[in-house]
Structure 1
Amino acid sequence: MSSHAGHGHHDSHSDRDAHVHTHGPGAAGAGTEFDWNVMGPMLEQEAELNSGPYEEAARWIAALPTAPEVRRVLDIGSGPGVVTCLLAEVFPEAEVVAVDPTPALLERTEDRARRLGLSGRVRTVEAELPQDADRLGEADLVWAGNSLHHMGDQRAALTRFAGLLRPGGTVALLEGGLPTRRLPRDLGFGRPGLEARMDAASAARFDRMRTELPDARRETEDWRALIEAAGLTPQGTRTFLLDLPAPLSGPARDHVVTRMTREAEVLGELLDAEDRAVLDRLLDPEDPAGLHRRPDVHLLSARTVHLGRRD
Structure 2
Amino acid sequence: MAHHPHEHRHQGEPAHDHEHHHDGGHRHGHHHDTDIDWAAMAPHLEAQAELFTPLYERALAWLGKEVTEPGLIVDAGSGPGVVSCLFAETFPGARVLAVDGSAPLLERAGERAARLGHADRFGTLTGELPDVLGELDYPADLLWAGRSLHHLGDQRAALTAFAERLAPGGTLAIMEGGLPSRFLPRDIGLGRPGLEARLDALQEQWFAQMRADLPGSVEVAEDWPALLASAGLKHTRSRSFLLDLPAPASDRARAYVTASLSRLRDVYGDTLDAEDRATLDRLLDPDDPAGVQHRPDVFVLAAHTVHTAVKPA
Q: Name the TM tier (shorter chain).
A: over 0.9
Please report how far the alpha carbon of residue 57 of structure 1 lies from its aligned counterpart in structure 2 after TM superposition.
1.0
1:7 aligns with 2:11: yes
Residue 125 of structure 1: SS of its match in structure 2?
Answer: strand
Larger displacement relative to structure 2 (254-263 or 207-216) = 254-263
Segment of structure 1 superposing worse, 299-308 or 122-131: 122-131
Any idea what the Cα deviations from partners look like across 1:227-267, whole Å, max 9, x if unmatched?
10000013311100000000111111111111111111112
Equivalence map 1:30-45=2 (5 Å): 33-34=36-37, 36-37=39-40, 39-45=41-47
Letter in 2 for 1:99: V
Given residue 244 of structure 2, which amino acid in structure 1 is its aligned partner? D
Overall identity of the aligned pairs, in %: 50
Q: Is the 8 A contact 1:17 1:179 kept in 2?
A: no
Aligned counterpart, 1:61: 63
The change in CA–CA distance for 1:129 and 1:301 in structure 2 (over 3 A counts) is: same
Q: Partner letter of residue 43 of structure 1?
A: L
Corresponding residue number in structure 2 for 1:303: 304
Asked if the contact 1:20–1:202 (Cα under 8 Å) also holds between the matched residues in 2, the reply is: no
Alignment partner, residue 125 of structure 2? 125
Aligned-partner residue type, residue 21 of structure 1:
R
Residues 168-190 of structure 1: CA deviation (Å, up to 9, x unaligned):
10000100100000001111121
Partner of 2:71: 71
Q: In 2, are the aligned partners of 1:17 and 1:202 still within 8 Å (CA)? A: no
**Residue in structure 2 matched with residue 97 of structure 1 by the alignment:** 97
In the TM superposition, residue 9 of structure 1 has moved relative to its aligned partner by: 2.3
Worse-superposed segment, 103-112 or 169-178? 103-112
Change over 3 Å in CA distance of 1:99–1:16 after alignment to 2: closer
Contact 2:110–2:124 (CA under 8 A) maintained in structure 1: yes
Q: List structure 1 segments (4+ residues) > 4 angstroms apart after TM superposition.
A: 16-20, 23-26
Higher mean alpha-carbon deviation, 254-263 vs 174-183, is at 254-263
Match for residue 50 of structure 1 among 49, 52, 67: 52
Gaps of 5+ in 1: none
Secondary structure of 1:36's counterpart equals coil
1:35 Cα deviation from its structure 2 partner: 7.0
Which secondary structure does the structure 1 equivalent of 2:256 belong to?
helix
Q: How does 1:86-165 map to 2 (within 5 A)?
A: 86-137=86-137, 138-165=139-166
Q: Which residue of 2 aligns with 1:271?
A: 272
CA contact (8 A) 2:8 2:19 kept: no
Map of 1:253 onto structure 2 = 254
CA distance in 2, matches of 1:216, 1:196: 27
Distance 1:280 1:246 in 2: 21
Q: Who is 1:27 aligned against?
A: 33
**Where does residue 181 of structure 1 map in the other structure?**
182
Q: Specify the code of the residue in structure 2 equivalent to 1:34.
A: D
Return closer, same or farther for 1:24/1:225 CA change in 2, 3 Å cut-off: farther
Q: Contact 2:186–2:194 at 8 Å: present in 1 too?
A: yes
Deviations 1:209-236 (Å, cap 9, x if unpaired)? 0001111110101001001000001331
Contact 1:14–1:176 under 8 Å retained in 2:
no
In structure 2, the residue matched to 1:169 is 170
1: CA distance, partners of 2:129 / 2:33: 13
Q: Which moved more, 1:176-185 or 1:230-239?
A: 230-239
Provide the aligned C-alpha RMSD in A. Answer: 2.0
Indicate conservation of the 8 Å contact 1:10/1:47, yes or no.
no
SS across alignment from 1:231: coil
For 1:63 and 1:234, the matched residues in 2 are separated by 14
Larger % of strand: which? 2
Q: For the Cα contact (< 8 Å) 2:9–2:26, is it kept in 1?
A: no
By how many angstroms is 1:107 displaced? Answer: 1.2
Alignment of 1:228-239 (within 5 A): 228-239=229-240
Distance 1:208 1:200, change over 3 A: same
SS of equivalent residue, structure 1 residue 175:
strand
Q: In structure 2, how many angstroms separate the alpha carbons of the residues matched to 1:81 and 1:132?
A: 17
Determine the C-alpha separation between the residues in 1 that align with 2:195 and 2:165.
43
Distance 1:46 1:301 in 2: 12
Structure 2 residue 283 is the aligned partner of structure 1 residue 282? yes
| Alignment partners' CA distance in 2, 1:164 and 1:111 | 26
Letter of the 1:300 partner, please give it.
Answer: L
Distance of aligned partners of 1:16 and 1:200 in 2 relative to their CA distance in 1, 3 Å threshold: farther
Larger relative contact order (Cα-Cα within 8 Å, sequence gap ≥ 6): 1
Structure 1 residue 5: Cα displacement: 5.4
The alignment partner of 2:263 has SS state of helix
